[in-house]
Structures are given as C-alpha cells and as structure tokens.
Amino acid sequence: MLQRLLHVREPLLVTLSLLQDDEGRGLGSVIVFDDYTQEVRAQRMAAWREVARRIAHEIKNPLTPIQLAAQRMRRRFRDRFANTPDDAQVFDECVDTIESHVDGLKVLVNEFSQFARLPAARPKPDDINQLVQEAVSSYAGKESVRFETELDSGLPLVDLDRDQIRRLLTNLLENACAAIAGSGRPGKVVVRTLHDAPLQAARVEVADNGIGVPPEDRRRIFEPYFSTKEHGTGLGLAIVSRIVADHHGYVRVHANRPHGTRFIVELPIRTT
C-alpha cells in the first residue's frame, strides 16, 4: 500500500527487477508499480454479492409468516377492544409497527436480491444521449429540484446494455436528489455527456449542489452497505460500480464547486 498526496491508501503491486550485464555485474534496478484498485474492488464486490444473496435468503423466508400473523391478530382480536379505545389504539400501533417494519425489510431484501443477481451486461451500440434524456425526463416536475442537461451532439454510439445504463442513471439521479434534500438549498442537478476522443471514451457526469461527500468517504462510497445517508442501504452506488465494471468502464467521484458532488462515468467507445 502506498499513501498518495491526498492521504488515501491504495493497493499497489510492487515488482523489483535487478538488471545485470552479461558478466553478472549489476547495472541497476527497475521498480514497477501496478495499481490494483480495480482488482481489489472487483474481489470485494464478488464477496459482497455472496453476502447479499445469503442475507436475502435468510431474511425473506420468515417475512411472509410474520406479516400474515400480524394481519390475523388484527382480524381476530381487534373487536375485543371496541369498548376500550386506549387499548385499541395501543393494539393498532403495535400491529402497524410490525407490518411497517416487515414492509421495510421486504424492500431491503429486494435490494439485496437485485444486487446479488444483477445479470451480466449484454451491450449493443446505443445512443447514450437518448438514455440521459429519458432518465432526466422521468424526473420532470420533481419538487424543489431543477434538472439540466448538457449533451455532446458529437458523441458516437456506445456499446451498452440499455436496461443497466438506465438503472445506473436512475441510481445516480436518486442519489443526487437525496443529497439535495439534506442540504436545505434549492436543488440543481446537471447531467452532461462528453466525447473524450483522446481516451476513446464516452463520459457521463451527474453533478448536484447537495450536501457533498467528505473526502475521507469518497474511496468507500462505491462499497456495498457503505452509506452516508441515515437510512441508506449503501447498494445504489455499489450497483452503479458493478454496472460500470461490467461495461469495462470507470466511475469516480469529485467535489462539485462550490457545493455538492460530481459522479463521472467513463465508458469505452469501440473503434473501427
């Protein structure tokens, strides 16, 4: 592990080779540093997918019996409290609590299952600008948030899985809206696309003016179950990272000046 200028530790493979001439005399040495960040992230992702699969399985089985039991209790015993309003209120509050927590666990289990069983990407040439427009238009009329697009008209077709990239955009937009909700200021989300010809990549950037992500959390923001939100599951951005990896791309997060966060996704463009 080496520590960079920003005091963020990254995994590196260090290879040292000694150089010698034909007579075995030392000429020097060569040190090669290989960045293993993506490999380590992929290993962690695979491990977390297995954890998610097991958690979903273990939690899902008892949820339906618990919910049915609560509903049966209400039907069977609710009338017994007809003459005692205070007891009836306590009874209803307890049953409602059981049912609401079961519903919350079902949502969590579904997110676990989706993360664990995310299908492999099936990329085809597609128009990423069109996908961005469709994703942003679905948020039209959202209260207290203004959405803008800055699309590169020269962006060529990109090999992508339409359903997965649509999900990626939705997760990033949802994340931006959640960050804005906690900021207390009028919200603005800008989605940009750019053709990075030197890198032969299509870039998609989602920038918001929300609460931002602390520098010390940025390196973990794509890890499963890590969330800066009070009630977040930490799976939305993990799914984004998985989708980008399946498309052989890169995703990173930066501060958005003066407020907020920028998520940048780079997808390779096939050359002919």
pLDDT, one tens digit per residue, over 192-237 is 999 999 989 999 999 999 988 888 888 788 877 777 666 666 678 8
Residue 38 pLDDT level (bands cut at 50, 70, 90): low
Lowest mean pLDDT among 14-28, 37-51, 77-91, 159-173: 37-51
- In the predicted structure, residue 43 carries a pLDDT above the cut 50: yes
Phi and psi torsions of 63, nearest 5°: -65, -45
- Per-residue pLDDT of 167-199, as tens digits, reads 999 999 999 998 898 777 888 999 999 999 998
**What is the Cα Rg of the chain in Å?**
25
Contacts of 27 (CB under 8 A, 6+ apart): 19, 20, 21
Q: Which residues, other chains included, contact 225 with Cβ-Cβ below 8 Å and sequence gap of 6+?
A: 48, 233, 234, 235, 238
Q: Report the predicted TM-score, pTM, of the whole model to 2 decimal places.
A: 0.66
Instruction: Say whether pLDDT at 56 is over 50.
Output: yes
pLDDT of residue 153: 93
Q: Give the list of residues 6+ apart from residue 160 with CB closer than 8 angstroms, or none.
A: 121, 123, 124, 126, 128, 131, 247, 267
